[in-house]
Every structure is written in C-alpha cells, then in structure tokens.
Structure 1
Amino acid sequence: MDLNALNDFQLVAVHGGFGRASRASGRSKATLSRRVAELEESLGVRLFERSDRSLELTEAGQLLLARIEGPMREVAEAVAAARDGLDTPRGRLRVAAPLLFSQVALGRLAAAFQAIHPDVQIEAVAEDRLADLVEEHFDVAIRINPHKDSMLVGRCFARDRLVLVAAPSVQLPKQSGDEPLHIPAIVMPTYREGEVWFVQDGQLTVEPRPVLRLSSLLTVRDAAVAGAGAAMLPQSIIGGLLERGELVSWGAAGNEVELWVLHTSRRLQSPKVRAFVEFICHYYPNGSFVVQE
C-alpha cells in the first residue's frame, strides 16, 4: 500500500476538506483528491461522503483514520530521525499512569526527563484503569503487577510493598488460635466482604471491619493517621510517617508490588519511548519506589 496515499488521506481527514488540507500542506488540491480516490479504489470502499458543501468520513474512513494515526506518526518520526542522521528523542509522548503514581511521583519524574530531553512533550493521563495503548494512542503505560500481554513489552523499574498500619492509638488485639482478628479498617472501594489480609508471613490474619471506604490511597493514609482504623498501604507513601511514629506497622504483606513501564511490541520503538524507558529505570536505581516528601 502507498504510504503517501495514506498520508494524504490522513491530511484531508484531519483538516476536514481538500481545500483546507491543500492550504495547510502546500500540496495541490487535485493531487490530494487523486491520491484519496486511488486509495478508495485500492481498498474497494468509500472513505469520504462528498457533497458540494461538505466532506464527511464514512464509517470505513473513521476506522482507517483511527488505525493509522499512531503508526503514521511513528513512521514520520523514524523518517525524520533517518534524515537528520540522529537518534534524538522528540515529539509528544503520551503516558498512561495509575492515579497514585501520578500524584506522588510523576510530576518530578516528568520534569527531570524534560530537562534532559527538551524536545519531548509529555502528556500524561492519570486513571486507575487499563488503557488501550493502540486504540487510545498512548506511547507508554505505567502499570502495577501487569498481567502478561503478548501485545506489550517493557521493564520492571521499581518495587513496593503493602504494609498493614494504624495510628499508635489503635491497639492490635491478640490473635487467639487460627481465628482472624476483626479490626476497624479503612478500605478502598475494591474491597470485597469477607476479604482477609495476611501479614507477618501469614502469622497474622486480619478480617477487616470497614469503617470508611475511600477512593484514594492518600485519603486512606490520612484517615489512618487520624486514628480511624487500620489500613493496608504501600510502603512508599508511609515511610516518613512510620519513622516519625505517626503510624505503626503491624506487618508487611507477603508479595512485593512491581511497577512496570510498558509499550506496544508491534510498534517501532521510537527514540522518545526508548529514552523514557531507560530514564525511568535509572530514576529508581536500586529498584525501590520511594516517594520524596
């Protein structure tokens, strides 16, 4: 397939007409019209509905535009790098990241990266959901304990651990036999009734009795400091509070939490993606995720 024809189609679709695309690109309106017509003929579908006053994408045109936008941008970046004879990171870098990581770490990290790579503009979206990197045109995603996905590759750049904590005023009762301890707890909306927390290598079993359900781990942390109950929190956001005695550890959960930076395996690994992956791995040199207070 002719990449130039795809590029001309994208140009016309983005600008909403042959005339506007011609003025924006400096290419003749007749050439753009011919290229798009040839592309439609080769695909066997109409990409635009034409009238005397308007030009609208068909359903097939909308689907094609959504599919080629990211890859065409990457091809353009690769061509520009080849022409320059350089491997300089440049352009927009879209990052999908969990809310907590965005709140406590991404701002400093992005600023430090941009200081080294001023030609890269980071656009970060903070949401606790699994974004589709291809459909939503993300270059990289930061995920916690990601499931294996043949479409994604990446590296673990840091580790964290969940710790059961409470304010000093909240007393840990003694466990009797194998029965779990019932304690007042601050939980997230993902908590399910009957859920049990295991800490101290399984020696302590806790069945939370929710007194607060809060949607932010930072809010859960603040409520725990205020003495509302116990909470299971990442070590990274409570280290200073433990050192100052504002919170007391009742034990760590068994498994470490891994933070990964991922990108699509079937895309060209552009200089900006490669630079960001290398940077974030070096940003946490010992692999420990620690929040700067």
Structure 2
Amino acid sequence: MERAVSQVEQMDLLALADFTLVARHGGFGRAARAASRPKATLSRRVADLEASLGLRLFERGGRSLKLTQDGELLFRRTSALLTELEETTTAVASGGEVPRGRMRISAPLLFSQVAMGRLAADFAARYPEVRLEVATEDRPVDMIEEGYDLVIRVNPDPDATLVGRIILRDRLVVVAAPGLERPAEDAPAPAVVRGGLEQANAWTTLSPSGQRSVVPIAPTLSLSSMIMVRDAVVSGAGVARLPISLVSGELTSGRLVSWGDADAPEIALWALYPSRRLLSARVSAFLDHLKQVFPTGAPEELAAFAA
C-alpha cells in the first residue's frame, strides 16, 4: 500500500472522488443514486483507479461489495483530504473560509475533566456549523488512522509527522492536608499516587529559593485520576504530587498546604495536528479559541477557568 499512497498526487482526482463515493455508500448502485450519476461511469472510474495503482480496492461478489484491506486504508486516508479540499474550494468561492464540518479531538483525562466541557460548549456556540466530537483518552493515538483532526497531549514524544504548539504549562507541587504533619528525620509520610502503587520511596522538593529536600514516602493509596487523588489528600489520606493548577484553589483556601514544588520536569500541554495536511478552518478556529482562553498558557489561567 505504500506504493499506492505515494502515487496519490498522480491519480485522477475525479476517479479518487468516485472511489470515495462508492466506498462511503457501500456499492455502485447506491452511490449512483445518491449522486445522480451513471453506475457504469462510477464502475469504469474505479476500475481505472485500480489499474493505475495496481491494486484491487473492492471485493466484488454476487450482490455485495466490500473494501479490501488496501481499499480501506486508501479510503481512510483520502476521504478526509477530499472533504477538506471540497470545503476549501467552497470557502474560496464564497469569499471566506467559514469553519464547518466534522472535527474530532482527542484530549487527556484530567484536561477533559476540568476544562474540555466548557471549551467545547463555548466553541460550539461560536461555530454552530462545526460538528465537534471529543474523545477522552491518555493513550497515544494515530491521528491519521483513527481520524482525529487535533490531539491534545501532555509532554508528547517527538513525532516528525505532527506539528503543534504548547497551549498550557504546569508544574507539580507536593501537597497535604493541614492536619498531616511532615515527618521528622527519615520517617516516611503516607502517600496517595495515581495509577499503580509506585516503587519510589522518596520525593524531592524545591523551596522558593531552590533548596532541595527529600520527603520519604510510603505509598498506601492508588487512584486512577488526579481529581480522585486531590480529593483523597484533602480528606487527609496522605501526601501527593499534583499539578498546581488543580490545587491552587485548595492552597488559597487553606484546605491544602504545600510541602514544596516537586523536583520534576515541567508539564507542557500540546495541541498537535498532522503536518502534511491542509490546516482546516475548523482546526485553526479551535486553536485560536484555546489561545483566547489561555493567552499566556500559565497554570493560573487553567485554574481560573476550571474554577
């Protein structure tokens, strides 16, 4: 299929559009009726496309028509591109590019819980012609294969196929309820962690002056989300490392106290999109929306928005 994908630029775009039409409707007859086109013309164009690629795109048998593995891959990779091309030409013809159409976004769990609902609602109200879908997941996703227009991720690994920008920065702070005293000497403090009970037996903290100190810990409670961890710490279950944006309200109110900033890498939240695709009006609009809500990207902005 790699050879076929490399030949996309040399294809007859009309044949490619007809292939997509047939694949979307699941048959030549249904596609012909939907587009008011002769069935024979669609069949000939798809056959010409298969001949130019040297691939069979459909399994033909009896009254059924099914995409082959190569056909499915071509359909996934080209249908969105053709949709964007159609939207772009329509926008140019109308004198302006108005965000419209379907947009799929993948966002991490914590950001979705504290901010994505309002962000999505405000964006939908502003751009009613965009059909926005948001999936919450922390796993790495393949944007092209899974059909995402935009992915939001924390400290993503470098990927040559993606470009993006940092939308927020955050940092970890070690916090506890006021009633939990910091142990003296080498005695460990009970710790609440996210995920499995980690093997770490100490956390390093930084004072405002940059002085390091070690906090021995004994992980005793494991929870699956940062919000659950925060709530358990507020209840006095132990000490935890949490993003400052998530606990700034509790620190201000005195429900939590800080034992110092965690000596850990900065948290950067990135908005990523495929570098080889035309950046659609809807993705550009959502990126601008994020910039308006978080103009500097400081953790205080996320905390204020979530509050």
The verdict on a shared fold, with TM-score over 0.5 as the criterion, is yes
Q: Is the 8 A contact 1:189 1:215 kept in 2?
A: yes
- In structure 1, the partner of 2:199 is 193
Q: Is the 8 A contact 1:96 1:125 kept in 2?
A: yes
Question: Which residue is 1:206 aligned to?
Answer: 215
2:87 pairs, out of 65, 77, 96, with 77
Asked if the contact 1:158/1:281 (under 8 Å) is kept, the reply is no
The residue correspondences of 1:214-229 to structure 2 (distance < 5 A) are: 214-229=223-238
> Which amino acid counterpart does residue 272 of structure 2 have in structure 1?
L
Looking at structure 2, the residues matched to 77 and 116 of structure 1 have their Cα atoms a distance apart, in angstroms, of 19
Distance 2:211 2:32 in 1: 68
Corresponding residue for residue 36 of structure 1: 46
Which amino acid counterpart does residue 125 of structure 2 have in structure 1?
A: A
1:91 is aligned to: 101
**Could you tell me how far 1:116 is from its partner in structure 2?**
2.0
Cα distance, 1:3 vs structure 2: 1.2
Partner of 2:4: none
Q: Offset at 1:148?
A: 2.3
SS of 1:135 mapped into structure 2: helix
Number of residue pairs matched by the alignment? 289
**Aligned equivalent of 1:156, options 149, 155, 166:** 166
Q: CA RMSD, aligned part only?
A: 1.7
Q: Distance in 1 between matches of 2:171 and 2:119?
A: 21
Q: What does 1:1-293 correspond to in 2, within 5 Å?
A: 1-174=11-184, 176=185, 182-189=188-195, 192-194=198-200, 196-200=202-206, 201=210, 203-254=212-263, 255-288=265-298, 289-290=302-303, 291-293=305-307
Structure 2 CA distance for aligned equivalents of residues 35 and 195 of structure 1: 66
- 2: distance between equivalents of 1:125 and 1:58? 28
Contact 1:152 1:262 in 2 (8 A): yes
Taking the aligned partners of 1:45 and 1:287, their CA distance within structure 2 comes to: 48
Q: Which residue identity is paired with 1:184?
A: P
CA distance in 2, matches of 1:198, 1:43: 58
Give 5+ residue unaligned stretches, structure 1: none
Write the deviation string for residues 165-223 of structure 1: whole angstroms up to 9, x where unpaired: 1111211123x4xx6x6211011115631364221146222243111111111111111
Unaligned segments of structure 2, at least 5 residues? 1-10
The answer to whether the 8 A contact 2:204-2:214 is kept is: yes
Structure 1 runs of 4+ aligned residues shifted over 3 Å read none
What CA distance in whole angstroms lies between the structure 2 residues aligned with 1:235 and 1:162? 6
Name which of structure 1's ranges 187-196 and 151-160 shifts more when overlaid on structure 2. Answer: 187-196
Q: 1:138 to 1:171 in 2, by over 3 A?
A: same
Distance in 1 of aligned mates of 2:267 and 2:68: 46
The Cα shift of 1:85 comes to 2.2
Listed one character per residue, the Cα deviations across residues 57-97 of structure 1 (whole Å, up to 9, x for unaligned) are 12221222122222222222222222222111111111110
Higher share of residues assigned helix:
2
Secondary structure class of the residue paired with 2:140: coil
Identity of aligned residues (%): 51
DSSP 3-state at the match of 2:90: helix
- SS in structure 1 opposite 2:144? coil
